[in-house]
Structure 1
Amino acid sequence: MKLNLLLLSFFWVGMGTALCQNIKARQQKLETQRVRLKNEIKQINELLFSNKNTRKNIIVEVENLQVKLNVREELIKVTNAQVNLLTRKININERNISSHRKELKFLKEDYAKMIKNSYASKSFQNRLMFLFSSEDFFQAYKRIQYLKQYTQYRRKQGIIIGEKTQLLQQLNNVLIQERQKQVILINENKEVQEKLKKERISQQSLIISLKQKERNLSLQISKKEKLARTIDKEIDRLIREAIAASNRSDVGGGGKEFFKLTPEAKLISANFEANRGRLPWPLEKGVVVQGFGRQKHPVVKTTTIQSNGVTIATTPSSNVRAVFEGEVMSVLTFKGSNPSVLIRHGNYITVYKNLGELYVKKGDKVKSKQVIGEVFTNQQTGKTEVQFSIFNNIKVLNPSGWIYQM
């Protein structure tokens, strides 16, 4: 019965150790996410909410609040996942402690019996009697060996009990630390939830004030979307023209929707692709305020918008940087909008929209992180934003999969 109990204890301890290692890896990943999200909220506050004296457009305030709400919600999810993992780890450690206690109890009982038996025959005379009562020399030798092994085993059991006791103390200390960390995370999450609640109330009050103007807002958004689609069509036209021009040359291979690449362009293209997920941001400091793809407008929920890239908010007079080496394919100036720069990297193209100042021209060779212009700041809305896109030939890609930690 005691042997089965001991084997069961070993089984639970082994299982618990494997699970704890798996949980530890997931905990480290979640902690990295939590730190990143907290830093992102800090950056959002610095970039979007630091200048309270500047009166912003109500729509901009609602949009900025939505950006912060999205990150706070993600932070709450990540912290909840951390708390749940810690709860699982605490439960596993409690089971391990229980198993170790049972095992220690068994070892102590076994050790107590040994001491008791040893005490009964501890005298020198008793040991001599045990040896001299042997029938022959071989039996006497075997009894001497037994006495030595018994003494060694007893000492070993004493050492094991000491080690188990120390291990048990360490597990208890870890358990205390994990419970303290769990309390800290729960309290932190409560604070974030309170802030989220207040910000939602603030956003709702702003939205209510805009309700009467919803029709007018929808028209403004539609007008803005129409201009964005016109610019996107012009960018598509410029890319197709560049592809057609490359296919008129005699070098390499290609097609109607693919660049015909020179050996040098192939190398740049391969290097660009090899740096997927590691490309630098087009700004030294910024936060994504609008993601990629089709999405509901943050203010007028009945209106859907399409984004062929990401919109990054930053501070006024910020420099825009090339994310990789390449050649300026085109500089697009369009009526009713600010200049855009298209940089070609083999069969990849990066687009930088809404520049206030230009430092490059068509045909210029650029290096990674080279400043190509300055972001435009809208004096009416207070927005300082750049729209950034990536294309593979004519196919638009999600920049978040290419830019480091976007």
Structure 2
Amino acid sequence: MNNKKLYILFLSGFLMSFSVFSQTKKELESQRKKFKSEIIKLNKLLFDEKKKEKNALEDLRDIKQKIDVRNKLISTINLEAKFLSKEIKTNEIKLEKLHKNLADLKADYGEMIYKSYKSKSQQSRAMFLLSSQNFYQAYKRLEYIKQYASFRKKQGEDIVIQTDFIENIKDSLVYQKRVKDTLILSEKNEKQQIETDKKKQENLITKIKRKEKTYKRDLQKQIKAEKRVANKIDKIIRDEIARANRLARAKLKSKSVARKKNEFILSPEAKALAAKFELNKGLLPWPVKEGLVVRKFGKQAHPTFPGITINGTGLHIVTSNGSNAEAIYNGEVLNILLGSGGTKNVLIRHGNYITSYNNLENSFVKKGDKIVTGQKIGKIFTDKISKKTKLIFVLFKNTTRLNPASWILKR
């Protein structure tokens, strides 16, 4: 019976540890798949061999992003391999103990069979019962014989179960070792790819250093141009808020509606829409079906030139050629702005929130249109030189810019 209890303890302990390991393995496996998918997306969206002209700064930023993701992948693979090694070691120790326990079970069972055989040769069951002093003793002896036979049967079943369990652990160990070998090979391949990418990175850095002044001058021009565009959009939004508030006051037949400067006066319907928008923070869909963020929100150091700060007014998302921008929530088209080169910027109002879909080749909507979540807003412009299709997605609360990454789903 002690052996049986020990076996049950081993079994439950194994299953508990397997459950913990499985959970960790699943998380790591999910991360590994995510990073692999991101590398595939990076290669597809950022490294187009059909580029007419190479932009060394952009190429350097792109290759750095790929190296960063690949390093995360290698780190995840390494962790996964370590967890597997630990799991394999734990299971090997348990297997050794289970083998010993099985040997003890078999020894006990063999001894019980031998004693039973000797008992049969010395005295039959009938004589054992007939030699009882009274009926009660005969009844107890009969029950003992039944229990003994049942116990023998159970011991045999336990041996079969534990033997099967040991075989399952053996199979699991073979599989785990095979997976570990695959991970080690994958890690080796990723490291080789990183070395290739680093050589390209070094070549680009050398190229940039030769024309550093030119690149810095062009970059400063781009930063100033982006600032001018941002200021222009800010003014248009302030004007739109003022216009919307004049209409709201006319409907409310009052000029003394309390509000702060540059904030929408909200009707009950607009308040309800804004409240629903807020409730969906972190759950809103992406403005593109497939995409990669190549510039984050907020002020950030330039990845190549120390001392130069760039500002992300929203998210710069690279997507596949021919993609459309899609509304992230119900709303109304506030305005459609025309940018340099003929690109368009569609502003959609959601109560006192505004989403901006900038760098569109054309728009499928017009000012005043009611919009629903997921509706196609316009086709995103593809640069004919870089071959990149990039959406600049910005989020406002009244005139204050917010980080869109905090509002849309994590990918």
- Scaled by the length of structure 1, what TM-score is found? 0.88
CA offset digits 1:343-402 (Å, max 9, x no partner): 111232211222232333332222223232232333344433111122334443333333
| Alpha carbons 1:243, 1:256 under 8 Å: kept | no
Partner of 2:393: 388
Q: Aligned match of 1:285 in 286, 290, 299?
A: 290
Alignment CA distance shift 1:400-1:182 (3 Å) = farther
Q: Is this contact kept in 2: 1:378–1:384, CA < 8 A?
A: yes
Shift of 1:209: 1.0
- Residue 137 in structure 1 maps to residue 126 in structure 2: no
Q: Distance in 2 between matches of 1:23 and 1:246?
A: 57
Q: How does 1:318-397 map to 2 (within 5 A)?
A: 318-333=323-338, 338-397=343-402
Aligned counterparts of 2:42 and 2:313: Cα–Cα separation in 1: 22
State the alpha-carbon separation in 2 of the partners of residues 214 and 177 from structure 1.
53
CA distance in 2, matches of 1:105, 1:284: 60
Shift of 1:37: 2.4
Q: Where do 1:82-101 residues align within 5 Å?
A: 82-101=80-99
In structure 2, the CA distance between the partners of 1:264 and 1:22, relative to structure 1 (3 Å rule), is farther
Q: In structure 2, do the counterparts of structure 1 residues 330 and 10 end up closer, same or farther at CA, with 3 Å as the change threshold?
A: same
Deviations 1:273-302, CA, capped at 9 Å, x for gaps: 444444333233332222233333233244
State whether residues 51 and 385 of structure 2, in contact with CA within 8 Å, keep that contact through their aligned partners in structure 1. no
Shift of 1:86: 2.1
Q: What 5-or-longer segments of structure 2 have no aligned partner? A: none
Shift of residue 68, structure 1, vs aligned partner: 1.8
Q: Distance in 2 between matches of 1:302 and 1:88?
A: 45
Q: CA distance change for structure 1 residues 255 and 21 in 2, over 3 Å: closer, same or farther?
A: farther
Q: Which SS does the other structure have where 2:120 is aligned?
A: coil
Of stretches 309-318 and 341-350 in structure 1, the one that deviates more from structure 2 is 309-318
How far the C-alpha of 1:322 sits from its partner, in A, is: 1.9
Q: Deviations over 1:211-260 (max 9, x none)?
A: 12223322322222222233333434444455555666356986446544
Change (3 A) 1:343 1:86: same
**CA separation of 1:400/1:164 partners in 2, compared to 1, >3 Å: closer, same or farther?**
same
Preserved CA contact (<8 Å) 1:214 1:300: no
Alignment of 1:4-403 (within 5 A): 10-11=8-9, 13-52=11-50, 54-123=52-121, 125-243=123-241, 249=248, 255-256=260-261, 258-333=263-338, 338-403=343-408
Q: Is the 8 A contact 1:13 1:99 kept in 2?
A: no
Larger mean CA deviation between 353-362 and 236-245 belongs to: 236-245
The letter of the residue matching 1:46 is: K
Q: Residues 393, 172 of structure 1: CA spacing in aligned structure 2 closer, same or farther, 3 A cutoff?
A: farther
8 Å CA contact 2:302, 2:310 repeated in 1:
yes
Aligned residues: 404
> Unaligned regions of 5+ residues in structure 1, if any?
none
Instruction: Provide the secondary structure at the position in 2 that maps to 1:122.
Output: helix
What secondary structure does 1:280 align onto? coil
Identity %: 38
Letter in 2 for 1:159: E
User: Structure 1: how far apart are the matches of 2:310 and 2:7?
Assistant: 59
AA partner of residue 404 (structure 2): P
Q: CA RMSD in A?
A: 2.9
Q: Within 2, Cα distance between the matches of 1:155 and 1:18?
A: 29
